[in-house]
Structure 1
């Protein structure tokens, strides 16, 4: 008999399988005590980001160091560099240039001999949530770039796996909240709006990855929903219920952690 009241899964079966396989990969190489005992759900609150800074550059450095600390990568050597500022699309009181090019939100580059450079777009300084998500993504590149085994589906899927890794490191709320943004601007004689998308996963996919993290870590859902955008709160509760009614968590908890051999990091642009 058909069950017409059965709700549609929040992501496709294929996408769910990819997330589960990616979590298995992460737990195998980067799990163990580091994940189950040390990793925390990081939230956009003063508890985690209490610093008061004097200028944008200091804000970027303080935020980056905090993200490194919470990711368990405080001692990993890398240099933070600001990119060139994007072109301002507003060129006159009533003239706005459409589709102006913009730099990547962040990049990760491994130059060899422990020289790692992470860059960020200065425009992200106006959005602390986006800045944290960018740093988490690039540090996730740094971490997973040391794996001797490629992510599920090969290195072509690295960007998707990296977004999941950022959530695995505790930054799922930031990743979900920064996926889609709407903003308005008003100037002398001009006004308008714009939307931006960041990362490689959809909001639903980020929420699904966050739900897995919460269930693996036994973190109350309310801790995450308290800081999520309104449209994502209900989605997270649905994802948690959906996963909780499956054998996904038991399957993931059965994965044994192995100490990975370090491999040469790859470089990437977001």
Structure 2
């Protein structure tokens, strides 16, 4: 019987980019700091709050994310905006065009970031995010990641893909991964169907490899993967199997 060699879900080019990016992040934060980052989970332990789709929920999530991302001595104001996506209906399916996530090709933004003065920042949240807790937290983490990379002078130019990887390195991989592809059923007055949205700047294949690589780097248990969506969990396990194999060759260790 022949067995195929374990393979990652990413191309060789993406694999090298992820590993080089994580090495750069290790230079920014220090090896000891990254090794001790906690994986943030969508549980009461990390977010002890009853989410009801209100602005209060976003303010609570922001305060927790600031602490988990170790952001101190800055003023971060939150505001809300409406920017509905285009939706196409086809035989009971609703597919929302949002292929580039926090700022899509249709200019539909989930979140916005700006620096308003020394040590002063604003984060905007599209109101639809208030109805999806994991997407809300993912969006807040992404915008705060801009603050860390751009606001603290680590980057001179915006890099959205690196910003998502930074979120994973700072413990928000579950939220980033789960928010890339959002699938849900809906019930109308005359019929029902399903709705799908794609968000974020990195695909599931890249996010799952990044999460597996970071998990290997930290030598973590994988009990937290029970919170991952089925599809990305399967990809994560495939990548971890590759990283644990004798075939694996990777830089970020």
- Asked whether 1:135 is paired with 2:140, we answer yes
Q: Which residue of 2 aligns with 1:118?
A: 123
CA 206–85 in structure 1, closer or farther in 2 if over 3 Å, else same:
same
Q: Which residue of 2 aligns with 1:166?
A: 167
Q: Which residue of 2 aligns with 1:57?
A: 55
CA 228–47 in structure 1, closer or farther in 2 if over 3 Å, else same:
same
- Asked whether 1:105 is paired with 2:104, we answer no
Q: What are the within-5 Å matches in structure 2 for residues 1-270 of structure 1?
A: 5-37=4-36, 39-52=37-50, 56-84=54-82, 86=84, 103-145=108-150, 146-148=152-154, 155=157, 158-189=159-190, 191-221=192-222, 223-245=223-245, 246-248=248-250, 251-253=251-253
Q: How many pairs were matched up? A: 236
Scaled by the length of structure 2, the TM-score of the pair is 0.82
Equivalent residues of 1:29, 1:147 under 8 A apart:
no
Equivalent residues of 1:125, 1:131 under 8 A apart:
yes
Instruction: Give distance in 1, aligned partners of 2:107 and 2:56.
Output: 23
Helix, strand or coil at the partner of 2:163: helix
| C-alpha RMSD over aligned residues | 2.8
Per-residue deviation at 1:135?
0.9
Helix, strand or coil at the partner of 2:252: helix
Q: Which runs of 5+ in 1 are unaligned?
A: 91-95, 254-270
The Cα offsets for residues 45-70 of structure 1, whole Å up to 9 and x where unpaired, read as 11111123676011111111111111
Scaled by the length of structure 1, the TM-score of the pair is 0.77
Q: Where in structure 1 do 4 or more consecutive aligned residues deviate above 6 Å?
A: 87-90, 98-102
| Larger strand percent | 2
Equivalent residues of 1:82, 1:119 under 8 A apart:
yes
Per-residue deviation at 1:102?
7.1
Bigger radius of gyration among the two: 1
